[in-house]
Structure formats: C-alpha cells, structure tokens
Amino acid sequence: MGWKITTLIVLVAVATGLILSGVLNTPPEPLEFQDNYWGRGAKPTSLPKDHDKIQQISINIPDATLVDLNDRLKNVRLFEALEDVEFQYGTRVDYMKDVITYWRDTYDWRKQEAYLNTLPHYKTNIEGIDLHFIHAKPKLKPGQSAKPILIVHGWPGSVFEFYKMIPMLVDPTSHGGSEDDVFEVIAPSIPGYGFSEIPHKKGFDEIAAAQMFHKLMERLGFEKFYVQGGDWGSMITRNMAVLKPSVIKGLHTNMPNVEMGGAYVFYMMLGSVAPSLAGLTEEDYKRVYPVSRQLLFTLQESGYFHLQASKPDTVGFALNDSPVGLAAYILEKFSTWTNPANRDLADGGLEKYYTKDELLTSVMMYWVTGTIPSSMRFYKETFAGNALVTIGHPVTVPSGVAAFPYELSHVPESWCPWGYANLVHYTTMSTGGHFPAFEQPALLAEDIRAFARKVEALDTPKEKTPQ
Amino acid sequence: MGWKLTTFFVIVAVSIAILFSGVLKTPPEPLEFQDNYWGRGAKPSPDSKQDENVYGIIVNVSDSAIADLKNRLSNTRFFDALEDVQFQYGFRREYMIDLVTYWKTQYDWRKQEAYLNTLSHYKTNIEGIDLHFIHVKPKLKPGQTAKPLLIVHGWPGSVFEFYKMIPMLVDPTSHGGSEDDVFEVIAPSIPGYGFSEIPHKKGFDQVAAAQMFHKLMERLGFQKFYVQGGDWGSMITRNMAVLKPSVIKGLHTNMPTVQMGGAYVFYMMLGSVAPSLAGLTEEDYNRVYPVSRQLLFTLQESGYFHLQASKPDTVGFALNDSPVGLAAYILEKFSTWTNPANRDLADGGLEKYYTKDELLTSVMMYWVTGTIPSSMRFYKEAFAGKALITIGLPVTVPSGVAAFPYELSHVPESWCYWGYANLVHYTTMSTGGHFPAFEQPALLAKDIRAFARKVEALDTPEKVAH
C-alpha cells in the first residue's frame, strides 16, 4: 500500500492546503483587545477602588481535601490488564498500582506544598476572575537589572513544571550562567488551570489568555518583557506578540506554531526527495520524515485532543472524581510526550526522567484545584473562535526556538520564518521532549539565556559582544 | 469558503476511495475460524477436557457493592458549569446533579435486578472465558415452532436494551403480532461487556466475537438461526454471516455497514446533484446531505471513538472508579445518539425517551460488572486486526435493514447492496435513533417480524407473504 498511502497523504495535504490557503487569502483580521468579562453573572458597571490590587497568597490545601484524597486512593476500583501489554493500550494497570501505593503511603503533600511555597505566589483580579501567578525576583547588586520574562505552561502542565528552571533563571551564577543572564520571572496559571480562577463564561481561548496576561504584565509595571512558552503557552505567547508587539522584547518557544498554507505541501514533497533544496538539515529530515510515522503517531496520540475539543465536560466528571483516573490520564502524556518509545516500557519510562514526587505533584496541581474539566474546555474554545486563525499572523518580534527531538512535531529552522518573521535564534537540541522545562531545565534555561543575549545585542550592537 | 470546502470534501473522498479501492483490489481473505483462546495464561492442551456445560445464573450484586456505590455518589466532586450551555460541552452538570440525587435516594437496584432476572440468564465457557447470555424460550402450542434469533448489542449498550423488545418477540400475540411471528431469543453479552468474562488476551475483536457466538449457537443446538444487531452488534452479526453463511437464516440490522470503495465518491457526487440517478429517495437525500452537516457531526461526536481506539485503558481508570463519571460518559451517548437536537436541551432530552430507571440501569450494567475499560478496548482491537477489512466482504444471506432517521449515518436502500448482496427488506422508519430496541421496541420488533416473514416465504413460496 506504499504508493497509495503516499498519494493519500499528498491529497490530504493538498486538501488541507486548499482550505488553509483559502484562510490566508482573506488576510486574518488583526488581533485586537476585546471587552472581556469572565466572572459570574452580568459584567459590573463599576469596579471597586482596589479592584486591581495584588495579593500575596500561599498554597495551603485544607486537611479535609487530603483525607478525602487518601480515602479515594484506598477505595480505588482498578481493573485487570490484558496480558503482554506495556503502555500501548494507555497507562498500564500494574504500573498504576505502584503509583497508587506510593501516593497513598509515602507521598507527602505538605512537603510538596512547602516546596511550592518556596516561590512567592500572588493573585489579582482581571476581567472578573482571579489570576494566579508566581513572581520570582532575583537578588540584584546595585546597578544590576534583570530581564523580565513571562513563562506560560500548557496542558497537562502547570507552573510546577518550571520549579527547577526558575532558580536557574533568577540566580544564574549558581547554575552555570553569568551575572548578565539574570531574569525576573512571572509564571501565571492559565485561567481554568492550577490556582487561577475558572472562567465562568464561554469563549476563554488562547487569545483571551494572551490579553489577560498583557493586562497582568501592565499591572505589574513592565513596559517591555520577554515571553516563553510551550504547548498552549506557545500559542498564548505568540498571540501576545501579535496583539501588542511593542511590549514584547523577545519570544522564545520550544514548540513553534507556523502556518505555511499551500506552500506546506510543496515543501513537504520537495523535502522528501531533495531535503536541502527544501531547507532541511539532516536532522530536520530525520525528524520530519517518514510522513507516515508522523501521521500514525498523531492519529494514535490525538484521541484526547479530539475528545477535549468536543466534549470536555463529559469526560471531566470522571477525571475530577477519581484521583487515580486523573493520574492515569495525565501521566500517560508525561510518558509518551517525553519519548514515544516509552509506550513500549512497562513503567512508561516515567521514572527515567522524573521522580514519583514530581509526577504526583503535577497531578495534584489539577486534583487539589479541581481544574481538570476547565483545563480541557480550553481545547474546545480553540475551535469556537478565532484562536486557530491567529497562527496565520506572523510574529514580528525577535524570536527564538529550542527544537527538542521528541517534541510532538518538528519545525525546521528554515520553515520557522513562516510564522516567526524575525527569527534570530534556533537550537537543535539533541535530547528532550515536550516538557523540557521539567525534563531538561538546564538545557532550556541555557537556551533562553543565549536567546536573550542575542536580542539584547540587537539593541546595542556596538558595546555588547554576543556570547 | 463554499467551493473550497466542497473541493476539500471531494478530495478527501477521492483519497479515501483510493485507499479503500486499493483494499478491495486485493480481495479480502475469506474469514475463517481461528484457534482462539482468551483465558488467562497458556492455552490448555487440546486433550484436556473443557467444560462445555451451560449453567443457569442469576444477577445478584453484593450488598457491599451497592453500599460502595452509594458512598461514591455521596462523595462526588462536581465542578462548575459554564453559563449558558446545555449539552454542547458534553453532559450538563445541573442535570447530572438531578440524576445523582435520584440515583442515591430513589433508584432501587434490587428492583432493577429482579426485573433483569425476569429473563433467564446463563453462562458457558467458550475459548477460555465465560460467555453470558439470555435465552428466552416462548410458550409454544403443540406443533408450533419458534424462529431462533440471536440479538447482539453494542457500545455503550447491553442486553438490558432489549428487555422491552424481547417479550414482543417471544410473545407476539400479546404485542400486536400473530402466532407465526414467534421467536426464541438468545442475547449474549459481548465478552468484555455486561456479565460476560473479560478477555485476558489481546486481539478480541468483532471477528473473534462472531466466532464465539457461532460456537454458542452450535452448543445450544441451533442449526439455522436469524441474527439481529446494531452498533457493534451489526458488525459482529455481519461477520457471522460471512464466517458461516450456511447457518444464518437471515440477518437484520438497524445500522448497516457497507463498503463501496471508489464508487462511494461517484455516488455521493452524483447524488448531490441528481439524487434519483444515484438511487436516492427524497428521504435518503435529506438524511445524507448536506455532507458538511454529516462531517461536522462526525467530527464533533467521534472524540470518544478516537480515544477508545487508541488509549482505552488511560480513560478506563477514571470511568471504572467514578460512577458519576461513568454515567456522564455513557448517558451523553443515549442523549445525542437518540437525537442530535438533544445537544441543545438542558436535560439532553433524555427523559423524553427513557425513564431515569432505564438510564441508570444501563449505566449499572457497566458499573456493577466493572466492564467499562474492557468494553472500550473493543475499539482498539477493531483497528489492530482484520475486523475493518471484513466490511469489504459482502453478506450473502437474506438481509433486512431498518433505517431510523437519527441513526449516526444513513445508508440508502440502493446502496445497501454493496454490503448486503441479498437484501430482501428495507424499511425507512420515520422516528427513532441509534438505540431503537430501547427507544422504539415495538417498531423494531414489528420490522424484525416483517423481515422474517419475507425470509420464510423465500423457503416456501406457496406461503403468502403478509
């Protein structure tokens, strides 16, 4: 069926190209700030004087929640596994038994909570809902300034993914960097995720999030700042750059989104027979082809996406009511998206990359907050409004890409300018997957530093030497 | 985007056609009985004695399971709904709270269990696992014979769906039929569903189920019998007809599966501009077009299918651990698949068609048995082996179709011949959706009777077809 599969793929690509070039022919409307309100009921006609106050908070989950969790773990109804499967049918039953035992008997939430509280947490009310964020300020010497950077997580991630990397950014000299590499880090929870309030109205998508984060940074007094994101964070930060480029110093991403229209078909076909003519390096070629492998992977791995983009609440009932169910659903992604080969391992390869504590705390970010249903609605909202169309807007601010080998899809450097018109930095990483801040924090931190150095050098080309 | 969308669909259709015509050109291998074993561990040696007895059983769930269920219901962690939504984001919170209150305080499982036990339940070990089935024998007058009929459920259905229809089939004169319309009904639970054992090995698909049901009917002593099915039941029964047509008297389905290869594109294009030339009635046309509506519906409604066909165990943990979660997941289908317009109703339109007891018992069939994860694996297995290719093998036994308006997809009568070479009966129903035995039992029973009369008349042309 070889040539038939190829023909099919080509035709589907042509079809997609046609549809999307149709989208491009009518230039996407420019993104503008909207008059959004996500709170309950009618939008208030006036706001109280202190409506924009910023409150420091600490994470402090009630004992009752932990007792309830333990009860559920003790009373879990598991099921029998098929013989001779690893992770091919999804998260493996016998591995989950192991996880549950640890979670019930050894995992210490209060210790994890204390760890979470080693970074300062805040909340502030924007457009009717409370937005949670971490704000980590470096210790600066007199005269020293830090580069502000907003980092945005995705699904099923959270601000917890950044805990190993944030110290590297705010205290570079303790982590292999130089004094000039110091950042001030702001890491919000996307509304509907983590400790942020859940939007009460329909329509909270990646554009709405971008707008909200702009308002956050403005409220915090930043006139110009870097942004970094992967997964939804990549789309949200790119929307921020499109919405208001004047305040974005530079955009770094580990999961670039580009829209090539009809040219995609052409480049994919050319690249399959003459890679260098299509601008592909040898490594690009290995990551992009064969197309059938990529398509099969996408088909096998996008069931959750399809369900969440259509019926998030339907599956939300179960995931919000069963901690084991939630853990299985989330940990499958940490397994497969870190490295697809993990699907053939009995423990999903998880503990090669992460500790049990890290994995369970990642799950707890959704459990203790009850945010799994709302987090999944984000997928449906993407298709309801303009959010996808915005991929057609090129990002004009200085941009940088860190391309990890096991990211869900690979965009070659020469193709990035289709979405990032001002690409100044591209690193082909040799190790790492979809959660690099979590899995390879030093690599990602170093790349963010290197990118920022290049951007700073654009400002003052004479005095500074790019490192 | 009008012409572009049309071009897109045409191209997608052409692509699919190319792919499938390729499949057809290499004629699919004939289906054959395999040496299957679904039990734990190594297959017993052929010399060892297998237990082929049929045991009567009753449904009897433990008190502790019921107490545990009530506990879970009381401790459900709900979440806030968005404002101004009905069922568009999936099952609606407010209506679920309503259902859960009823489930906790008024739903009486023991009463439902007693109702389940009004039909006779059995189990028998086939290919290493215990197969559950209902077997209802009619009261016959001397000299009277009943037509044996195997009916097969689907997902997220169960044998419970058939409870209103079975009495109509086995006691026709009490339900608008004549004496000659009497059936003897066998209704198994697909392995991995309901009260059947869960297969322990990979690969239990719609071909494996067909083979197992053949062995069941043989063990019960039937030499020739009718089959009826919708959803997975349709695919399983068609596989039975392909595997061993000599024992299938007739096949009736409410969800025909046909494979038209490249011709599909041609007929769809022709039908969009000249319906009658493409063999479409006016009603066919209304149900098949516009293609965009059908495609959008498929896209919006097939997320569960995509997930289950790839990672059934991943979502299985939550669904097997949260009864409310299971109920939302299952009842969303009873809502949308009965009528798509139900998505815009605050209660999903469910109680227009079904009682709370019926809905909850449908859920309990998966909850008390812990079969939701295994039931979903059936989707993955469909793609792992040959199961889908068998759609390319035409059914040669006399076939009948009941085409309900809100079935998930519509196959016009003239197109049925692509999959059912010996179509003798086709009814265009004016009401009903994907679960007709449950929603419109009288309509479906009547159609099964009418179909069977036509098949019997083929044998003995002297009889006048009613």
ipTM of the predicted structure?
A: 0.92
Of the partner residues A4, A77, A89, the one whose CB lies closest to the CB of residue B321: A77
The catalytic residue among A181, A205, A231, A284 is A231
On the question of pLDDT at A27 being above 70, the answer is no
On the question of pLDDT at A163 being above 70, the answer is yes
Distances (CA, A) of B119 to A206, A260, B137, B158, B225: 54, 62, 10, 14, 20
pLDDT of residue B70: 97
Q: Answer yes or no: do A307 and B312 touch at CB < 8 A.
A: no
Q: What is the pLDDT of residues B87-143, one digit of tens each?
A: 999 999 999 999 999 999 999 999 999 999 999 999 999 999 999 999 999 999 999
How far is it, in rounded angstroms, from Cα B297 to Cα B185? 35
Cα angle for residues B202, B206, B212 (degrees, 5° grid): 85
Q: Is pLDDT larger for residue A275 or for residue B22?
A: A275
In A252-354, which residue ranges form alpha helices assigned H by DSSP? 263-273, 282-288, 291-301, 303-308, 312-321, 323-336, 350-353
Q: How far is CA A130 from the centre of its chain?
A: 20
Would you place residue A262 in the very low, low, confident or very high pLDDT band (cuts 50, 70, 90)? confident
Of the partner residues B303, B328, B377, the one whose CB lies closest to the CB of residue A306: B303
Q: Answer yes or no: do A11 and B18 touch at CB < 8 A.
A: yes
Would you place residue A388 in the very low, low, confident or very high pLDDT band (cuts 50, 70, 90)? confident
Of the partner residues B77, B198, B321, the one whose CB lies closest to the CB of residue A80: B198
| Residues of chain A positioned with their CB less than 8 A from the CB of B68 | 75
On the question of pLDDT at A467 being above 90, the answer is no
On the question of pLDDT at A437 being above 70, the answer is yes
> In this structure, are strands A248-253 and A399-403 parallel, antiparallel, or unpaired?
parallel
Phi, psi (5° rounding) for residue B152? -125, 130
Sequence letter at residue B196:
S
State the average pLDDT over residues B259-283. 91
Of the partner residues B1, B306, B318, the one whose CB lies closest to the CB of residue A318: B318
Q: Please count the other Cβ atoms lying within 10 Å of the Cβ belonging to residue B229.
A: 24
pLDDT of residue B277: 92
Q: Which of B68, B75, B82, B84 should we substitute to test contact with A (largest number of A Cβ atoms within 10 Å)?
A: B82
On the question of pLDDT at A462 being above 70, the answer is no
| Residues of chain B positioned with their CB less than 8 A from the CB of A71 | 75
| Residues of chain B positioned with their CB less than 8 A from the CB of A300 | 310
CA distance A147 to chain B (A): 38
How far is it, in rounded angstroms, from Cα A168 to Cα A178? 11
Q: Answer yes or no: do B306 and A302 touch at CB < 8 A.
A: yes
Q: Which of B315, B319, B324, B335 should we substitute to test contact with A (largest number of A Cβ atoms within 10 Å)?
A: B315
Whether the upstream peptide bond of residue B156 has omega within 30° of 0, thus cis, is yes
State the average pLDDT over residues A446-450. 98
For chain A, give the mean pLDDT. 93
| Residues of chain A positioned with their CB less than 8 A from the CB of B304 | 307, 311, 314
Q: Which of B71, B94, B204, B322 should we substitute to test contact with A (largest number of A Cβ atoms within 10 Å)?
A: B322
State the average pLDDT over residues A429-453. 98
CA distance A272 to chain B (A): 20
CA distance A211 to chain B (A): 20
Element (DSSP H or E) covering residue B352: helix B350-353
b/e burial code for range A419-450 (CB count within 10 A of at least 16 → b)? bbebbbbbbbbeebbbbbbbbbbebbbbbbbb
Would you place residue A30 in the very low, low, confident or very high pLDDT band (cuts 50, 70, 90)? confident
pLDDT of residue A387: 79
State the average pLDDT over residues A152-173. 98
Q: Which two tokens stand for residue A282?
A: 């040898």
State the average pLDDT over residues B55-74. 98
Phi, psi (5° rounding) for residue A183? -120, 160
How far is it, in rounded angstroms, from Cα A203 to Cα B266? 40
Query: pTM, whole model, 2 decimals?
Result: 0.93
DSSP secondary structure, B166-193, as one string = HHHHHSGGGGT--GGG-EEEEEEPPTTS
Q: Answer yes or no: do A332 and B311 touch at CB < 8 A.
A: yes
Q: Answer yes or no: do B8 and A19 touch at CB < 8 A.
A: yes
Q: Answer yes or no: do A79 and B200 touch at CB < 8 A.
A: no
pLDDT of residue B15: 61
pLDDT of residue A24: 46
How far is it, in rounded angstroms, from Cα A243 to Cα A247? 10
Which has the minimum average pLDDT: A179-183, A460-464, B202-206? A460-464
Q: Answer yes or no: do B12 and A12 touch at CB < 8 A.
A: yes
Active site residues of B: 231, 379, 434
pLDDT of residue A1: 43
Of the partner residues B40, B198, B317, the one whose CB lies closest to the CB of residue A328: B317
Question: Among B231, B237, B132, B232, which Cα is nearest to B188's?
Answer: B132
State the average pLDDT over residues A144-153. 97
Q: Which residue of B has its CA nearest to A81?
A: B200
In B220-253, which residue ranges form alpha helices assigned H by DSSP? 232-243
Q: Which of A313, A330, A334, A371 should we substitute to test contact with B (largest number of B Cβ atoms within 10 Å)?
A: A313
The catalytic residue among A107, A366, A379, A406 is A379
Question: Among A439, A410, A440, which Cα is nearest to A426's?
Answer: A410
pLDDT of residue B1: 41
Distances (CA, A) of A153 to A81, A134, A156, A339, B408: 33, 12, 9, 19, 38
CA distance A80 to chain B (A): 8
State the average pLDDT over residues A39-66. 95
CA distance A275 to chain B (A): 26
Q: Answer yes or no: do A326 and B311 touch at CB < 8 A.
A: no
Q: Which of A79, A85, A200, A337 should we substitute to test contact with B (largest number of B Cβ atoms within 10 Å)?
A: A79
State the average pLDDT over residues A219-244. 97
CA distance A371 to chain B (A): 8
State the average pLDDT over residues A387-406. 92
Q: Answer yes or no: do A303 and B317 touch at CB < 8 A.
A: no
A353 part of the active site: no
How far is it, in rounded angstroms, from Cα A178 to Cα A187? 22
Q: Answer yes or no: do B199 and A322 touch at CB < 8 A.
A: no
| Residues of chain A positioned with their CB less than 8 A from the CB of B92 | 313
What DSSP character marks residue A417?
G
| Residues of chain A positioned with their CB less than 8 A from the CB of B103 | none
Q: Answer yes or no: do A93 and B313 touch at CB < 8 A.
A: yes
Of the partner residues B18, B92, B300, the one whose CB lies closest to the CB of residue A7: B18
Q: How far is CA A15 from the centre of its chain?
A: 29
Whether the upstream peptide bond of residue A290 has omega within 30° of 0, thus cis, is yes
pLDDT of residue A391: 85
Q: Name the percent of chain A lying above pLDDT 70.
A: 92
State the average pLDDT over residues A295-316. 96
State the average pLDDT over residues A190-195. 98
On the question of pLDDT at B418 being above 80, the answer is yes
State the average pLDDT over residues A306-311. 96
On the question of pLDDT at B8 being above 80, the answer is no
